Amino acid sequence: MKNNSSVSSASDHFGELPRGINHIGITVPDLDQATAFFKQALGTTWCYDGLTFNDPPRQGKIVERQLGLVQGSKIIRQRMLRLGNGPGLELFQIEAPEQRPPLKLSDYGINHMSVYCDDIEACVARIREAGGSLLDELHDNSRHEDSAGSASIYALSPWGMLIELQTIPNGYYYDEDSEATAWVPARR
Class of CATH domain 21-99: alpha beta
Sign of the Cα torsion 59, 60, 66, 71 reads positive
Model confidence pLDDT, tens digit, residues 66-108: 999 999 999 999 999 999 988 999 999 999 999 998 899 999 9
Task: Output DSSP code: residue 177.
Answer: T
Determine the pLDDT at residue 181: 86
pLDDT above 60: residue 3:
no
Looking at residue 171, its amino acid is: G
Shared fold status for 21-99 and 100-174: yes
CB 115, CB 138: distance < 8 Å: no
Model confidence pLDDT, tens digit, residues 126-151: 999 999 999 999 999 888 898 999 99
- 20 falls in which pLDDT band (50, 70, 90)? confident
pLDDT above 80: residue 5:
no
pLDDT above 90: residue 6:
no
Determine the pLDDT at residue 12: 59
CATH code for the part of the protein at 100-174:
3.10.180.10
pLDDT above 80: residue 11:
no
In the predicted model, what is the mean pLDDT of the chain? 90
* All structural domains of the chain with their residue ranges: 21-99, 100-174
Query: What is d(CA 54, CA 147) in angstroms, rounded to the nearest whole number?
Result: 50
pLDDT above 60: residue 4:
no
* DSSP-based three-state secondary structure for 65: helix
Bin 47: left if φ > 0, else alpha if -120 < ψ < 50, else beta.
Answer: alpha
- 7 falls in which pLDDT band (50, 70, 90)? very low
Residues composing the chain: 188
